[in-house]
Amino acid sequence: MQGIHWDFAVILTVLTLVTGVVWLLDKLWLGPRRRAKLALDAVDQPSSFVDFCRSFFPVIFAVLMLRSFVAEPFRIPSGSMIPTLLVGDFILVNKFTYGLRDPVFHHKFVELGEPQRGDVVVFRWPVDPTKDFIKRIIGLPGDHIVYRNKQLFVNGEPATLDPDGAYTAPGLPPPGVVYRMKEHLGPVEHDILVNPGRPADDFEFIVPPGEYYAMGDNRDGSDDSRRWGTVPERNLVGKAFFIWMSWDSDRTRVDFSRIGGSVR
């Protein structure tokens, strides 16, 4: 079992428990005792701490439920998923696609589904679970993955590539020419970037049970399973599905053209 990392989810859980216990005690015991001692025309005045807990428990509880079991916002900090996601995109992640987990120990208590090949997934980085990464699932448990001359082969089937021209975008390094390609990973079609000026990082791998192979769409500019290994199922956070805001830092303005886009 993984240890407790004191991230926002754990702090939110603790706040919910503390305010909830105080709210319940006040409702069942403290409040009735306090009001029984009041004069007929007196106003009930709980302590500031009890009043805070009574006021904020419903709000904190609702935020915890939504964030833990429905959707959670994330910001894209790097260019590893260009062109699908740009630096400065703010996305929503579906928290129940792959089952419901408790927000502290991340134990799955409701089975709802498993990642599919081609899903864009947020997960806790296996090297340091306090950090969240986002990549595309390339290999499922048991898959035979081959990467040769910048082309994927999954269980002997090539992920065909269709050229889509040169590509430039914020977050890409200036040297060389980078090309946009449409990759067909089974039924999933998505865009990737290929830098012909960088040597091919060829490999062959069989994905272990309970693990997933993840790669960035910016194939020559992504820190992913090629370097630090596979993603355990327990590290999955959810499936990215929606861009709700995008900040263009080069122009210091909101990029309205990206808002409302789906993540595919």
Q: Which of 55, 78, 95, 135 is catalytic?
A: 135
CB of 150 closer than 8 Å to CB of 219: yes
> What percent of the chain is helix, strand and coil (3-state, nearest 5)?
20, 35, 45
- Whether 68 sits among the annotated catalytic residues: the reply is no
Is the omega angle on the peptide bond into residue 83 within 30 degrees of 0, that is, cis? Answer: yes
Cα–Cα distance for residue pair 84/82, rounded to 1 Å = 5
Kindly give, in sequence order, each residue whose CB lies less than 8 Å from that of residue 180, ignoring residues fewer than 6 positions away: 83, 163, 164, 165, 166, 167, 191, 192, 193
d(Cα 199, Cα 220) in Å, to the nearest integer?
9
135 is catalytic: yes
Q: Please tell me whether residue 41 adopts helix, strand or coil conformation.
A: coil
Give catalytic residue positions. Answer: 80, 135
